[in-house]
Amino acid sequence: EAGVAQSPRYKIIEKRQSVAFWCNPISGHATLYWYQQILGQGPKLLIQFQNNGVVDDSQLPKDRFSAERLKGVDSTLKIQPAKLEDSAVYLCASSLVPGRGRTNEKLFFGSGTQLSVL
Amino acid sequence: AQKVTQAQTEISVVEKEDVTLDCVYETRDTTYYLFWYKQPPSGELVFLIRRNSFDEQNEISGRYSWNFQKSTSSFNFTITASQVVDSAVYFCALRAGGTSYGKLTFGQGTILTVHP
């Protein structure tokens, strides 16, 4: 079974430039997440989609970050304009929709995009 | 507010040693869920376990075991007879019962290095 695919693997930009990350979740996974992992810290949820609707974006800096999920499958996360503090690994994850009897709440993560803002 | 603290930043052991990774959490919710994830050098986080706040039974899975103690708000993870392949960053995480499925609050992580 194919895992969560992310691209690019690495990205280096200068501050005030824009950047976009792409994620393709596991086939059949209705829920998709974007997490930000700053060096030395645990991941922090930025936004969560279920199908193509937003479930939670309370921690997304909406003045510069945006995300969409095309047709409930692939997703893109954009930063415009980037700041130095946006340097981090951006992780995409997916999961099945929670349901009765589904107790493991297992998220499947991609390998991430490492962003360096200079 | 929720918080997860992993006080051990780095642990180094020699192969076959047992090692325990500590996790302490804070939450005001009576219903919550605790997790452990492993992050190998490849970068993707790998799910290890989920426990709910009403189930304090310890769990063993092969060389892995977890000790959940509500009285001390701890959810510690032990690897028995460690192997080089266990080298990774390990994260403890928490989700409050009222928050959305998958909205995890992670600790800072513990870097485990197992030397041959």
Distance from the B104 Cα atom to the nearest Cα atom in chain A, whole angstroms: 7
Interface check B33 vs A, CB under 8 A: yes
* Contact (CB, 8 A) for B93 and B5: no
Is omega for the bond preceding A81 within 30 degrees of 0, making it cis? Answer: yes
* Contact (CB, 8 A) for A118 and A14: yes
Distance from the B99 Cα atom to the nearest Cα atom in chain A, whole angstroms: 9
Tens digits of per-residue pLDDT, A18-58?
999 999 999 989 899 999 999 999 999 999 999 889 999 99
Tell me which chain B residue has its CA closest to the CA of residue A57. B103
Name which of B4, B47, B108 is nearest A107 (Cβ-Cβ). Answer: B47
| Residue spans of alpha helices (H) in A1-118 | none
Tens digits of per-residue pLDDT, B34-63?
999 999 999 999 999 999 898 888 888 899
Pairing of strands B59-61, B74-79: unpaired
Distance from the A103 Cα atom to the nearest Cα atom in chain B, whole angstroms: 8
Contact list, A104 vs chain B (CB under 8 Å): 47, 50
Interface check A94 vs B, CB under 8 A: no
Place of tokens 């999961």: A95
Tens digits of per-residue pLDDT, A68-81?
998 889 999 999 99
Partners of A108 in beta bridges: A94
Pairing of strands A113-117, A10-13: parallel
- Place B89 in a pLDDT band, splitting at 50, 70 and 90: very high
